[in-house]
Homo-oligomer: A and B are copies of this chain.
Amino acid sequence: MARWEPDARQRLERAALDLFVERGFDQATVPDITARAGLTTRTFFRYFADKREVLFGDEERLPELAAHLVDAAAPGLGPMAVVQQGLTILATNAFDGRRDEIRQRKVIIEGNDGLRERELRKMALLTDAVAAAFRARGVDDLSAAVVAQTAVGIVQVSLRRWIESDGETLLADLMDETFTTLNRAFGRAGLEGC
């Protein structure tokens, strides 16, 4: 039996991200990662199915968290108010404080076609989860679909800005700024419903 390693998961993540940046994702092997982390490959596979999972391990967690934020919002709140509130909580709970790591992941993903497409797929799964959560709240299909798509669009735009920012800005604030900017763009269109 391997002995218990404190923080093994984080050490493996750290080592993997560093190696993916240094050598490229395809070139860094699991033995390279475990050697760098000072752990065994056996330990690696206790935490991750493969090296891809180091980058996409939160894939199942994010849709679940987002759906929960929609479920848990006050019953009288309109879909867009739910989105605005949810974005702030999501940013604070799942992202703020992890900028360097998320930025590093982004660099790795951007440098590899397969990873980039998988990242896009991840966003599509997030959209589906949010739309389902809105339908469960009684929101009609069309509104649920377009509000979910828009919410994930705001997340994507805000994440990109956050990663390119000076590191002093909170993602929660950028989410709010992006939301407000879009809201104003609709307001300025001077169209029905506003």
Residues of A within 8 A of B (CB): 78-81, 84, 116-118, 120-121, 123-124, 142-143, 145-147, 149-150, 152-154, 156-157, 160-161, 177-178, 180-194
Q: In the complex, what distance in Å separates the CA atom of A74 from the CA atom of B169?
A: 36
Q: In the complex, what distance in Å separates the CA atom of A143 from the CA atom of B121?
A: 24
Copies of this chain, how many? 2
User: Which residues from chain B contact A120 at a C-beta distance below 8 Å?
Assistant: 117, 120-121, 123-124
Q: Chain A interface secondary structure, helix, strand, loop or mixed?
A: helix
Chain B residue at minimal CB-CB distance from A153: B149
User: Which residues from chain B contact A192 at a C-beta distance below 8 Å?
Assistant: 180, 183-184
Chain B residue at minimal CB-CB distance from A117: B117
Would you give the shortest CB distance from A185 to chain B, in whole angstroms? 5
A sample of 24 cross-chain residue pairs with beta-carbon separation below 8 angstroms, ordered by A number, consists of A78-B190, A79-B185, A80-B188, A80-B189, A80-B191, A84-B189, A116-B121, A117-B120, A120-B120, A120-B123, A142-B157, A142-B161, A142-B178, A145-B157, A146-B154, A146-B185, A152-B153, A153-B153, A180-B192, A182-B186, A183-B193, A183-B194, A186-B194, A194-B194
A186-B153 in contact given A120-B124, A142-B181 (Cβ < 8 Å): no
Would you give the shortest CB distance from A23 to chain B, in whole angstroms? 24
Chain B residue at minimal CB-CB distance from A177: B142
Choose from B124, B142, B187 the contact partner of A193 (Cβ within 8 Å).
Answer: B187
Q: Which of A142, A146, A152, A191 has the most CB of B within 10 A?
A: A146
**B186 with A183: CB separation less than 8 A:** yes
